[in-house]
Structure 1
Amino acid sequence: MQRQPFEPANLDAGIKTFLDDLTESGSVGFDSAPVEEMRALFVELATHLDAPNAELEAVSDHQAPGPDGEITVRLYVPKNARPNGGALVFFHGGGWVIGNLQTHDSMCRRLANHGGVKVISVDYRLAPEHKYPAAIDDAIAAYTWVCGEAEFFDIDRKQIAVGGDSAGGALAAIVSNELAKTDLRPAMQVLIYPVTQIIGATLSRAVLADGYFLSANDIKFFGEQYLSEPGQALLPKVSPILHPDLSNVPPALIVTAGFDPLCDEGLAYAEKLRWAGVGVEEIHAPSLIHGFANLTALSPAALSAVEDTAQRMGKALKRQSRSKG
């Protein structure tokens, strides 16, 4: 898929107003305040800037066993969920440092409602308190537990997808890669503006280094908080695009945004998967920025892109159900 040139005139009007407001308020990067303060600000942003959702059938929290204690997961059951149907195990974004179940509550509700599948959101451990590999260890543990509890959740073990946005997209890709040749291989991976390499020199990272919500300094800061030493950035369990063998990973739905510094690495990951023989479907939102799935109240295009993602995921899981039935 080819992206459009980075022309400011192509930026979504609602998103432009949001970015202008950030500039006028003197807002600076994610590294400008203590981590706990940035976490609280992210909760506030996500709560106020996401569009309302239709009601769900049920929402409940559960505890999954993890490598360092229990992991809280939140189950979203839409009213149109099929008995013994599909599910998405979701990992939130936030650079492995910020974000939680609350920041992505609205997003998960929307994915469940418009996908017609149950969504199980994972509250994995965050850096810098818990550096690599804590997040990926929790992600694999939570996904494995959901697979083992498929009957309890009334989901089809063969229709469990993994997904996430930003750093959560990286976790979903890594879970897919690590389990690709096991009987726990996910049904598909849904990667929403994913981080596919922590250290990277792409055109989108260079051109969009500042002024588009996620900056080059933010990316550097998150990487430093997540990793114990820089060399870990070259590990496939950190940067999934560096995995040496992607030939058996699940089919992917990859979402990219035209004004996201991570755009090019998302497109490159889609291409690498295709070269490995993996089925890839892409959604490109040319006028949007990184994090748009948390900004749906500001932009009809952002809302439409998230709904489209959910619908395509739901259809893909239904196709798998029919093909295996």
Structure 2
Amino acid sequence: MSAPDFTFAQRAQRALLVGLGRLPAPLQRLLARPPVNSAGDRMAPDLALLMKLSASGADYSDLPPAEAREVTERDLALFAARVPACAVEEEVEIADGLWVTRYGSGQPPRAVILFFHGGGFVIGSRASYTAPARMLAQGTGADVVSVGYRLAPDHPFPAAQDDALTAWRYVVAHAADWGADPRRIVVAGESAGGNIAAVLCQQVRGDAVQPMLQVLIQPVTDLVEHRPSQDEFAGSPALSAKQIAWFVGNYLPEGTDPADPRVSPFRASSLAGLPPAIVNLAGFDPLHDDGHAYATALLEAGVPAEVTREAGQVHGYVSYTAVSPSCRQATERLVASVAAALDRTDRSTTTKAS
């Protein structure tokens, strides 16, 4: 995918934000006064400055969904790092209107990562998540298949889950064509995409081919219980309580039971037998406690779960990699944690073979 064609004003805005993100930390702290959360974590100063500027901007949840997508796609393009293209970037229509982008090196990959973007089931796209997808591919040696699942309210629940299942079956069937072992498929997603990834792992539990790992990045896992982090960060410019309500209202048809495990994977009758997990949390995220509760439930069910926590970050930090060095570093650490998990499985496979 080619870089977005920005107007002069947009280029100037991006340059200003990049410049502010690279000011000396003491000056950023003076300008932004980074907040401290209830756990005692202090927000990264470059991110605190970005949040202070964002707080005065328009709120996309005041717009109809189609207009909100236009606004957020533009903003996400402005905030995202320009990561060099992968050797292979292939767009494929795997079902009627369901497109994926495969990012790869052109060499047999060590695994395939099936990736679902964030955006509350209403906004976001394969295009706006190009940077993290490329970073995952280049940082892990895996092929990344990024899924353009259908969005609400035009396609409400369970359309995204249905598309995820279709994408999973496609990757299982085609992994060998890319030189990959279909038993080495990672399911990953951010925010709403983390929900989709978690639900998918439950849906294919017991199938002949299982995901080797689930990577849940700041996932929403439970729309039933209201947890403390939702109140603590209700006014977050990165994801507010108002925006969460807007997402849920657009996503769930009237009468949908929020305790349905396809909506709230935390509510499944059992989590036993699911793939090992990496659950990534941010210290200033209203969904922090959601993700932590799911990781705890996985562990209690006997599922290996590694919790990685970016104490100074906000929800959606993987999308701010151009304008916030701390977000770029946090995303690189996330990628490294996935690579390390693949390293461990490589060693385990080698040991068993010998």
Residues 322 and 328, structure 2, Cα contact 8 Å, conserved in 1: yes
Match for 1:72 among 80, 96, 99?
99
Q: TM-score, structure 1 length as denominator?
A: 0.92
1:283 maps to 308
Task: From the superposition, tell whether residues 11 and 313 of structure 1 become closer, same or farther in structure 2 (CA, over 3 Å).
Answer: same
Contact between 1:212 and 1:259, CA under 8 Å: does it hold in 2? Answer: no
Structure 2 counterpart of 1:239: 264
The alignment-based identity, stated in percent, is: 33
- Give the alignment partner of residue 122 of structure 2, picking from 97, 119, 122: 97
Greater relative contact order, per chain length (Cα 8 Å cut-off, separation 6+): 1
Q: Which of 49, 52, 75 is matched with 1:17 structurally? A: 49
Q: Which runs of 5+ in 1 are unaligned?
A: none
Question: Is 1:6 matched with 2:38?
Answer: yes
Aligned residues: 315
Instruction: Name the structure 2 match of 1:39.
Output: 69
CA contact (8 A) 2:139 2:335 kept: yes
Deviations 1:145-189 (A, max 9, x none): 110111222211111011010000000000111112211311110
Distance 1:176 1:268 in 2: 17
Where does 1:96-245 land on structure 2 (aligned, <5 Å)?
96-245=121-270
Q: Tell me which amino acid in the other structure corresponds to 2:68.
A: M
Q: Describe the superposition over 1:221-250 as per-residue Cα deviations: whole angstroms up to 9, x where unpaired.
A: 111111112542110011111111111000
Q: Which moved more, 1:302-311 or 1:271-280?
A: 302-311
Is residue 41–residue 311 contact of structure 2 (8 Å, CA) maintained in 1?
Answer: no
Q: Does the 8 Å CA contact 2:47/2:327 hold for their aligned counterparts?
A: no
Q: CA deviation at 1:136?
A: 0.1
Q: Secondary structure at the match of 2:282?
A: strand
Query: Residues 165, 153 of structure 1: CA spacing in aligned structure 2 closer, same or farther, 3 A cutoff?
Result: same
Partners of 1:37 and 1:6 lie apart in 2 by 35
Q: How far apart, in 2, do the equivalents of 1:24 and 1:214 lie? A: 14
Letter of the aligned partner of 1:44 in structure 2? R
**Structure 1 residues 169 and 159: CA distance shift in structure 2, 3 A:** same
1:256-294 deviation digits (Å, cap 9, x = unpaired): 001000001101111100001111112101111101000
CA RMSD between the two structures? 1.8
Could you give the per-residue CA deviations for residues 58-112 of structure 1, whole angstroms, max 9, x where no partner exists? 21101213xxx24100000137x5x252010001110111111111111101111
Distance between the aligned counterparts of 2:200 and 2:269, measured in 1? 15
Distance in 2 separating the partners of 1:130 and 1:179:
22
Q: Whole-Å Cα distance in 2 between the matches of residues 208 and 214 of structure 1?
A: 8
Q: TM-score, normalization: structure 2? A: 0.85
3-state SS in 1 of match to 2:161: helix
**How far off is 1:323 after superposition?**
2.5
Are positions 1:60 and 2:90 aligned together? yes
- Matched with 1:310 is 335
Distance of 2:56 and 2:104 partners within structure 1:
40
Q: Extract unaligned runs of 5+ from structure 2.
A: 1-35
Summarize deviations over 1:97-140 as a string: whole Å, max 9, x none. 11111111111011111112110000011100011111000001
- Residues 187 and 317, structure 1, Cα contact 8 Å, conserved in 2: no
How far is the alpha carbon of 1:298 from its aligned partner? 2.8
Counterparts in 2 of 1:115 and 1:74: CA distance versus 1, 3 Å: same
CA distance in 1, matches of 2:255, 2:243: 16
Secondary structure in structure 2 of the residue aligned to 1:156: coil
